[in-house]
Structure formats: structure tokens, C-alpha cells
Chain A
Amino acid sequence: MGIRVQPQAFDAGVELGALHAANLGVGAVAVFVGYVRDFNDGREVAGMFLEHAPGMTEKALERIVAEAQARWPLLGVEVIHRVGELEPGAPIVFVGVTSAHRDAAFDACRFVMDYLKTRAPFWKKEDTPDGPRWVEGRTSDQQAVERWQR
């Protein structure tokens, strides 16, 4: 399992290949990649700054991944989240999960993303034509994570 919080870009293809190559028992890889959009909540977005809480953020991600590993028979998990200045089109987040079969990989990948969105200390500040603005949390993200608690 790997967790990286970094300003540098990542290559999703390279990460996917490494996850697969790590274990010949891997029959399934599920990957989610999130990107910066150029539009949000009715405003153009020219770029954004991603703030995190060094130490606390990594610890929160480790906890989320450990929960996924306890819940599904996973062979590997890789989480990469970028911080700092990001432009539209830039990849922000990579979640890759491997398992013997697809169900565990699909479900665990979504579980990690849903918890990351609501429990990992990251904050987006967007550059818009009206100036910078902090992105507010969404109720739909909260509802997504609550599905896993039923």
C-alpha cells in the first residue's frame, strides 16, 4: 500500500502498471483519476490551490486505506493526491486498487474515494473571474459516504 501527497504530477498509466506488476495474483485493477475542471458552481475556474494539513492528511488517508483493506480482500492500494497550484486539466487524485476479482476492486476504489472526499484534510481554493474562493463541501459527498455506513 502506498500513500503519496505531493505537488508533482503523476502518470496514471505508470501507476496502474506498477500496481499490476507487483503481484501476479492480481486479476483486477480498479482506478479512479480526478482532474481539475475549468468550471464549477457557475463560475469559470482558471486554476486552484490545494491546501492540506501535513501529517494529519497522510494519517487520515492511511486510516481510510486500512479500513478498505479490512473490508475487502485487496492485494494492493495506491493513493496519490496532489497539493499546491493546479491548472484546469491537471490530474489531482489517483486511487488504484488491486484484487483477485473485480467486485472487491470496484467497491474498494469507490469506498476510498468517497471517504477521501469527506474525511481527508484537503481544501480547494479556486481562482475565478470574481477572485479566489474556497470550495464548500457538498451534501452529495456526505450522502455518498453514508451509503457505506448502512
Chain B
Amino acid sequence: MIRIQYFARYREALGRDGETLEWTPALATLNDVRRQLLERGGAWDVLAEQNIMCARNQDLCGLDEPVADGDELAFFPTVTGG
């Protein structure tokens, strides 16, 4: 299983703060996970945004970051703190 969290505008657009998914070898990178979520259509199109940010096990990373079973992932819009 992998756990996925959504934050801020994405959390609101998707109507949930996270979920768990069965991990398969097809989900080799964060971009693969994103592509699978995009297949749901509708509100999930928000994940197609070019400036999407993501994290693996609480570390910010690129969409090409590998994913392993048991990982905790996160997708979120551009950060705006400070």
C-alpha cells in the first residue's frame, strides 16, 4: 500500500485530504501515480497543473522520484508561506 496526502487547494478540489492505494510495479514514480489518479477525470484534472509539487516520505522531490511499497506521498500546489 502507498499513502497519498493532498494539501490546500488540491485537498479542497478533491474533497479529501488523502487516501491509500494498492502499490503495483506500474507505479514506479510519482508521475506514474499522478497519471493513474488523472484517469479518474473531473476534479482530478487539477493534478495536471504544470507547477504541481510533490513529496515522498516527507521530503520534497520531483515527479521522477521512484516510489516503493509503503511510501507516504503528497501532492500539493505551489507553496506560498513566508
Residues of A within 8 A of B (CB): 34, 50-53, 55-56, 59-60, 63, 81, 92-93, 113, 116-125, 134-137
Given the known interface contacts A51-B7, A51-B8, the answer about A122 and B58 at a Cβ–Cβ threshold of 8 Å is: no
Total A-B pairs, Cβ < 8 A: 74
Interface of A is mostly: mixed
Could you pull out 21 A-B pairs where Cβ atoms are within 8 angstroms? A51-B7, A51-B8, A53-B7, A55-B58, A60-B59, A81-B82, A116-B81, A117-B79, A118-B79, A120-B79, A120-B82, A121-B7, A121-B55, A121-B74, A122-B80, A123-B9, A123-B80, A125-B8, A134-B8, A135-B80, A137-B80
Bound CA–CA A123/B80 (angstroms): 5
**Once the chains are docked, how many angstroms separate the CA of A120 from the CA of B53?**
11
Q: Is the CB of A137 within 8 A of B81?
A: no
Which residues of chain B come closer than 8 Å to A60, judged between CB atoms? 59-60
* A124 partner residues in chain B, CB cutoff 8 A: 80-81
CB distance from A50 to the nearest CB of B (A): 7
B81 near A120 with CB under 8 A, answer yes
**Cβ 8 A contact of A137, one of B51, B59, B60:** B51
| Count of interface residues, chain B, beta-carbon cutoff 8 Å | 17
**Is B5 on the interface with A (CB-CB < 8 A)?**
yes
Q: Which of B43-82 contact A (CB under 8 A)?
A: 51, 55, 58-60, 74, 76-82
Chain B residues proximal to chain A, CB less than 8 Å: 5, 7-9, 51, 55, 58-60, 74, 76-82
Verify B74–A53 contact, CB threshold 8 A. yes
Kindly state the separation between the CA atoms of A120 and B55 in the bound complex, as whole angstroms: 11
Flag if A117 contacts B55 (CB, 8 Å): no
